[in-house]
Amino acid sequence: MTDKPTVTQAMIDAYDDYTHLSLDRRKFMERLTVLAGSGAAAAAIAPMLAASKAQAAMVAADDDRLSAEDITYPGASGEMKGYLVLPKAAAAPLGSVIVIHENRGLNEHIRDVARRVALDGFAALAPDFLSPAGGTPSDEDKARQMFSGLDMKQTTANGEATRAFLAGRDGAANGKVGAVGFCWGGGLVNRMAIASPDLNAGVAYYGAQPPAEEVPAIKAPLMLHYGGLDERINAGIDAYRTALEKGGKTFEIFVYDGVNHAFNNDTSSARYDKPAADLAWSRTIGFFRKYLA
C-alpha cells in the first residue's frame, strides 16, 4: 500500500502563489517538484492542493428542502447569471444573502455553499461575476485567467445591482441583504461595503482589504475571517483594523490559528480545516441572523 504523500506548508504557499499571483502552471509544477523531491510526487500532491470537482456536496443539489434554479437578472450594464436557492419551509419574507465565489467563478462548490446558506434560513443568490465575459468556464485555470480582464468598478456595480435585485423581490424578501465572499469574493465584499450604502451586512473570508482612505464610506457591519497562516492576505489586517476603528465602524475580526487561506473550502483536502470552517460558519450565520432579520 502506497503511503499518502506529505503536503508541507511550503507546498501550500507555492499553490497560493500560483493561483493568486503567477498563474503559471509550469513554474508551479517545477517548484512543487523541487519541494516534493520528484515529478511523480509532485503529480500526486498537486490534486490534493487543488479543489476537487469530485468532492461530494454537503447539501445535495436536489435536496427536497430547497428550491434552486439558475436565473438571469439585470446587472449594472448587462445581464447577470446566478444560482438562486430558497428554503421551501419559509413562513415569512426572508433576509437575503449574496454568496460570492472565489477566483474560479461560479462552480459547484459555491453552489453548495449557497444551498447551505438557504438551509440556514435565507434566500441565497450566488452570482456569476464572470457573466460580462460570457460566464464561468469549466476549466478552472481559464476561469482564473479571466478575472484579470474584469473591470472592478463594473464588477462592484454588478454586486450592487445584485443587492438591489434581491432587496426588491416583492413578497419573498424582507428587503435586507447581506453578502458573504471567499478569497476574491471576500475582497469584493469589502469593495461592496464601500460602494453599497444599503448593504445590511458583509462577511469576508480571507479577502483583500480595501484602501484605508475609502473605509469611511462603509455603512454595513462587517465580519472578517482570516487564516492564521495566510501571510499574503494577513499583511493588510492591521491597516484595515485601524481604519475601521478610526471610522467608528461596526466590525469583528477573527484569525484562526494554524489554518490556511481557503480553510473553508472543503473541496481542497490540503487546505480545508473543518474545526475552523465550522466555527467561522456558525459565527457567519449568527451575524446574518442578527442583521438580516
pTM for this model (two decimals): 0.90
C-alpha distances (whole Å) from 183 to each of 16, 36, 68, 69, 206 are 11, 26, 24, 25, 5
Q: Identify the weakest region by mean pLDDT among 172-176, 268-272, 280-284.
A: 268-272
For residues 276 and 256, the answer to whether their CB atoms sit within 8 Å is yes
What is the Cα–Cα distance from 36 to 60, expressed in whole angstroms? 36
In this structure, what is the dihedral angle of CA atoms 53, 56, 58, 63, given to the nearest 10 degrees?
100
Q: What is the pLDDT of residue 3?
A: 64
- CATH 3.40.50.1820 boundaries in the chain: 66-292
pLDDT higher than 80, residue 238: yes
Q: How far is CA 101 from CA 5, 53, 147, in A?
A: 29, 15, 12
- Which range has the worst mean pLDDT, 79-83, 89-93, 123-127, 128-132? 89-93
- Is 227 within 8 Å of 260 (Cβ atoms)? yes
Instruction: Give the gyration radius of the chain's Cα atoms.
Output: 19
Q: What is the pLDDT of residue 49?
A: 76
Q: Does residue 161 have a pLDDT over 90? A: yes
Residue 21 Cα distances to 15, 16, 37, 98, 147, angstroms: 10, 8, 24, 26, 12
- Give the DSSP letter of residue 57: P
Angle, vertex CA 289, rays to CA 160 and CA 280, nearest 5? 90
> Given a cut of 80, is residue 171 above it in pLDDT?
no
Fold of 66-292: Rossmann fold (3.40.50)
d(CA 158, CA 251): 24
